[in-house]
């Protein structure tokens, strides 16, 4: 493994310093929750080695979201990042090939790079509303392709595939004898339609999710992967056991309590996040220098700056942060041009969101 730090982590707000940021629009989750916010308190747990696959009740709660999924199909991991690491290191080697629909969550690219895996990219285009072209994915595949990697709802654009495209990707993986990885971290934050978990559709599909983004509890480091392939599940379990044996019984206890409250939590959250999305939409409607593809899920969007080729983008981001105290995720975090940036509308307060958007307009004209 040849590890290199990811740009998105090197430039994360916690690295820069939260105290230096007034309007933090760079976060990709809802606001961080306290135990009291979600009505939880820590029970008097026995601090033993937990179940290697993850707490049975927790896995049952995860599996219950899709009829075709059983608790045995679920492996609880250290966040979605832990799940993605297990998948990449289990399935890929320097002799294998991966197709990544880009932009994508950074771990889905950097871990295969560290392995030395060959990667082909299928880049999404603003002009196509960031829609996945399954034909281009098929054309990028090679005889040694082991994995196709996508996110849905998409990070960082917030766009979603339709069911026909998801089915087509599943069929493609089945026909080419490879696996389809779908990072579904924002699935619970779908506005309107909600796609089924990819793993529920085929033994060739692997789904990944977590409680970090949609539920605002990244500090407990709980994610999961789902596969209905028993042999593959056993391989993933072996990887987890060699990395850390099991998860934290404290973290899994909190996660269980969160998912027991899932429906009520989301019933309150989704209308609020839809309102935040409308705030960004209203700003874009009156800001001629910015455009976006309206997100259909998640709490991030990927606006594009409509500026002249000579516009100094580096200076813009510097001024935005240093003069206006506003942080966004510039396009290079996602290996995209700097005229794009990720804006997170779920983490800041409504007042901070509005202040940050106004600051972007001011910096564009500075």
| CA 242 distance to own-chain centroid | 25
Angle (nearest 5°) at CA 104 between 355 and 272: 40
Q: What is the pLDDT of residue 292?
A: 98
Contact by Cβ (8 Å): 145, 99: yes
3-state secondary structure 185-254: CCHHHECCCCCCCHHHCCCCEEEEEECCCCCCCHHHCCEEEECCCHHHHHHHHHHHHHHHCCCCHHHHHH
Copy the structure tokens of residue 143.
């005889």
Q: What is the pLDDT of residue 14?
A: 86
Q: Which pLDDT belongs to residue 208?
A: 98
**What is residue 167's predicted lDDT score, i.e. its pLDDT?**
98
Question: Cα(359)–Cα(356) distance, rounded to whole angstroms?
Answer: 5
DSSP 3-59: ----HHHHT-HHHH-GGG-SEE----SSPPPPTTTTT------------TT--HHHH
Model pLDDT, residue 15: 86
Residue 322's Cβ-count burial label (10 Å; 0-12, 13-18, 19+) is exposed
Q: Would you put residue 17 in left (φ > 0), alpha (ψ -120 to 50) or beta?
A: left
Q: Are 342 and 213 in contact (CB under 8 A)?
A: no
The CA distances from residue 25 to 93, 123, 214, 340, 350, in Å, are 37, 24, 16, 14, 11
Cβ–Cβ contacts within 10 Å for residue 243, how many?
13
For residue 124, whether the previous peptide bond is cis, meaning omega lies within 30 degrees of 0, is: no
Instruction: Going residue by residue through the chain, which has 366 residues, state the pLDDT in tens, using 9 for 90 and above.
Output: 888 898 989 988 888 888 889 999 999 999 999 999 989 988 888 999 999 999 999 999 999 999 999 999 999 999 999 999 999 999 999 999 999 999 999 899 999 999 999 999 999 999 999 999 999 999 999 999 999 999 999 999 999 999 999 999 999 999 999 999 999 999 999 998 899 999 999 999 999 999 999 999 999 999 999 999 999 999 999 999 999 999 999 999 999 999 999 999 999 999 999 999 999 999 999 999 999 999 999 999 999 999 999 999 999 999 999 999 999 999 999 999 999 999 999 999 999 999 999 999 999 998
Separation CA 328–CA 13 (nearest Å): 9
pLDDT at residue 193 in the model: 84
- Residue 144 pairs in a beta bridge with none
User: Which element (helix H / strand E) includes 180?
Assistant: strand 179-183
Tell me what pLDDT residue 187 has. Answer: 96
């Amino acid at each position: 493994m040849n590890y290199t730090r990811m740009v998105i982590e090197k430039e994360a707000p916690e690295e820069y310093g939260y105290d230096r940021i007034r309007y933090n629009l760079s976060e990709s989750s809802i606001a961080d929750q306290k135990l009291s916010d979600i009505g939880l308190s820590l029970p008097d747990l026995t601090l033993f080695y937990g179940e290697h696959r993850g707490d049975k009740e927790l896995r049952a709660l995860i599996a219950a979201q899709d009829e075709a999924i059983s608790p045995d199909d679920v492996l609880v991991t250290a966040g979605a990042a832990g799940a993605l690491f297990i998948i990449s290191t289990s399935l890929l080697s320097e002799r294998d090939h991966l197709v990544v629909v880009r932009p994508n969550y950074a771990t889905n690219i950097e871990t295969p790079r560290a392995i030395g895996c060959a990667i082909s990219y299928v880049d999404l285009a603003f002009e196509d509303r960031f829609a996945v072209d399954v034909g281009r994915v098929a054309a990028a595949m090679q005889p040694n392709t082991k994995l196709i990697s996508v996110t849905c709802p998409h990070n960082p654009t917030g766009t979603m595939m339709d069911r026909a495209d998801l089915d087509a990707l599943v069929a493609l993986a089945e026909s080419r004898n490879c696996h389809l990885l779908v990072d579904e971290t924002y699935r619970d934050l779908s506005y309107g339609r909600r796609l089924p978990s990819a793993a529920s559709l085929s033994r060739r599909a692997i789904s990944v999710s977590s409680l970090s983004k949609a539920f605002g509890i990244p500090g407990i480091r709980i994610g999961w992967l789902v596969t209905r392939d028993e042999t593959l599940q056993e391989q993933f379990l072996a990887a987890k056991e060699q990395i850390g044996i099991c998860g934290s019984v404290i973290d899994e206890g909190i996660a269980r309590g969160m998912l027991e409250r899932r429906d009520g939590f989301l019933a309150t959250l989704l209308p609020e996040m839809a309102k935040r999305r409308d705030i960004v939409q209203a700003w874009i409607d009156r800001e001629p220098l910015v455009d976006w593809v309206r997100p259909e899920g998640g709490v991030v969007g990927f606006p594009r700056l409509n500026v002249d080729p000579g516009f100094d983008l580096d200076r813009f981001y510097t001024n935005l942060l240093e003069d206006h105290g506003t942080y966004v995720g510039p396009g290079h975090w996602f290996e995209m041009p700097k005229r794009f940036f990720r804006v997170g509308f779920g983490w800041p307060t409504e007042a901070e969101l509005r202040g940050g958007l106004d600051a972007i307009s001011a910096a564009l004209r500075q």
